[in-house]
Amino acid sequence: MPSLNLGILAHVDAGKTTLTERILFETGVIAAVGRVDQGTTQTDTLELERQRGITIQSAVVSFRLGDLTVNLIDTPGHSDFIAEVDRALQVLDAVIVVVSAVEGVQPQTRKLVRAVRAAGLPLLIFVNKIDRIGARSDELLAEMERALGIRVVAMSTASGLGDRSARVEPRDPCEATFASELTDVLAEQNDAIIARFLDDSADIPPRILHRELARQVRAGQVVPVFYGSAITGVGVCNLLGHVPRLLGVRRDRSGEPLSAVVFKIQRSPIGEKIALVRLFGGTLANRAHVTPRRRDPAGHIDVGETRITGLEAYRDGTTVQVAGATAGDIVRVHGIKDARIGDTLGEPPDGTGSFRFVPPSLESVIRPRVCGDAPRMNAALEQLAEQDPLISIRRSARDGSISVRLYGEVQKEVVEATLEREYGVAVEFEPSRVLCIERVTGSGEAAEEMGGANPFFATVGMLVEPAAVDSGVEYRRELGSLPLA
């Protein structure tokens, strides 16, 4: 059965997880739509996620659209957990970005769309919350093109904005108005479209417009926009109906050599390490021997050997044990005891491994509230670093203190709560400090003369020069070292 790995990305509170719930409901996976504010959603499974009402870790859930199996990855919207988004992008085939009809394009929206385009992934946009007061439609299209640098085409129209009765009307290429608009958009990237339009007295057939639209969507040249509300469900079926038609199915690569990547690490209730793996080529069988590959900081590739002891695939909202997996599948793999995020199985896939966002810029010293808990804290931090390598645990050579690299204060609070809830270790953090990720390598100087109408003549100068590595930053003030202006 063909499959598609589809990610949902958004700025925090745009309604990404609620859309995931609505999709699962409309495809028959769940009987009722869960609510983020009530902690009843399928993908926010951590207790902290349910309490805070935010997604902290990416989660995979599966559903079917006809003959197509879709593995949907719900990702965090908060910027503190952007590393989860990056790892998801490495294993996706396409992306839906959710934009609030009220707030519009937000800072995280820009970052996400840039990353999606850099990854070369097809993109659909779902404009959510059309039932909220202040919702916009046509105005938002222009804002997205301007702020995101993309060419959009509206696949539906919205009416009754700002009310629970807001409705969506799908647009059909059989309609003259939409066909004309679609022709203009597609002709910008394909001269053959405009040539056919000018040479042929008849309109371009809808099937040709649809086929060309799908081609340009997959090439990242055009971004279809769908209006709707994840809360009321309006517009969601229209979005789902276009997923197979616009995003398509990958070519079958099951006959190629095994090529897979570990993009997430989980732990079972008994502490067993489970690797989430995306297969790009070949097949993977339970009990098979595989060769994990890992690139060290120096660029050398370490090759190991291990045996798979269990495989679980995502099926209709749950996981089931399977005898094997094929190219395109996302599976939970048991038995790779030394697995780390970024490891490859078999041949390394193309286009993975490069981080698309800025690394953490904050660092904070962490210590246990009870001195005797230090060994347990260290072991727990190592497990957390397995799940998020960018946490980057560092021990000071000077005083032995442990520092953790973080994206922000929300992530710090989550780490603190996780250590206490899941590992029984109460910790405290020192105030975060900004990491110095650049170093002066040469000398530079400048002077400013102040005079003119000012009767108090003076000269202010600055000299910047490098110091010894790891010596810190030193400021010196010298009076009288420059001549008067």
139 and 240 part of one domain: yes
What is the residue type of 393?
A: I
Give the three-state DSSP class for 362.
strand
CATH number at residue 422: 3.30.70.870
Query: Does 56 share its domain with 202?
Result: yes
Both 46 and 195 in a single domain? yes
Q: Per the domain annotation, does 332 fall within a domain?
A: yes
Rounded-to-integer distance, Cα 16 and Cα 106, Å: 14
Whether residues 428 and 469 share a domain: the answer is no
Q: What are the pLDDT digits (tens) for 126-147?
A: 999 999 999 999 999 999 999 9
Same domain for 68 and 187?
Answer: yes
pLDDT on residue 482: 64
Q: How many CA atoms lie within 13 A of 327 on its CB side?
A: 17
Structural domain range at position 327: 259-346
Q: Which of 313, 346, 379 represents a domain boundary (last residue)?
A: 346
The residues, ordered by sequence, that sit 6+ positions from 300 with a Cβ below 8 Å of its Cβ are none
Cβ atoms of residues 135 and 367 within 8 Å: no
In a domain, 355, yes or no: no
Predicted confidence (pLDDT) per residue in 379-403, tens digit: 999 888 888 877 788 888 888 889 9
CA-CA distance, 285 to 345, in Å (whole number)? 12
Average pLDDT, integer, range 413-441? 87
Is 216 found in the same domain as 74? yes
The answer as to whether 325 is a domain residue is yes
**Is 231 part of any domain?**
yes
The pLDDT of residue 331: 95
Distance of alpha carbon 464 from alpha carbon 446, whole angstroms: 9
Regarding whether 163 and 17 lie in a shared domain, the answer is yes
**Could you report the per-residue pLDDT of 11-34, keeping only the tens digit for each?**
988 999 899 999 999 999 988 888
Beta strands 223-227 and 152-154, pairing class: parallel
> What is the helix (H) or strand (E) element at residue 71, kind and residue range?
strand 68-74
Place of tokens 């719900």: 74
Residue 352 lies in a domain: no
Residue 254 is assigned to a structural domain of this protein: no
Q: Is residue 120 left, alpha or beta, with left meaning phi > 0 and alpha meaning psi from -120 to 50?
A: left
For position 136, which CATH number holds?
3.40.50.300
Using a 10 angstrom Cβ sphere, with 0-12 exposed, 13-18 middle and 19 or more buried, the burial of residue 387 is middle
Q: pTM to 2 decimals?
A: 0.82
**Confidence band, pLDDT 50/70/90 cuts, at residue 361:** confident
The residue assigned the tokens 């400048």 is 446
Q: Domain count of the chain?
A: 4
- Looking at the structure, tell me whether residues 174 and 241 fall in a common domain: yes
Residues 311 and 337 grouped into a single domain: yes
- Shared domain for 429 and 443, answered yes or no, is no
Q: Distance between terminal CA atoms of the chain?
A: 80
pLDDT of residue 356: 62
Is pLDDT of 254 > 60? yes
Confidence check: pLDDT of 261 > 70: yes
The secondary structure element, H or E, covering residue 62 is strand 59-65
pLDDT of residue 485: 47
Q: Are residues 285 and 342 in the same domain?
A: yes
User: Residue-wise over 169-207: b if at least 16 C-beta within 10 A, else e?
Assistant: ebbebeeeebbeebbebbbeeeeebeebbeeeeebbeee
144, part of any domain? yes
Per-residue pLDDT at 470: 66
CATH code assigned at 317: 2.40.30.10
| Residue 353 falls inside a structural domain | no
Q: Are residues 52 and 123 in the same domain?
A: yes
User: What is the pLDDT averaged over residues 285-297?
Assistant: 85
Q: Smallest Cα–Cα separation from 206: which of 225, 181, 236?
A: 181
Q: Which of 346, 372, 407 is the last residue of a domain?
A: 346
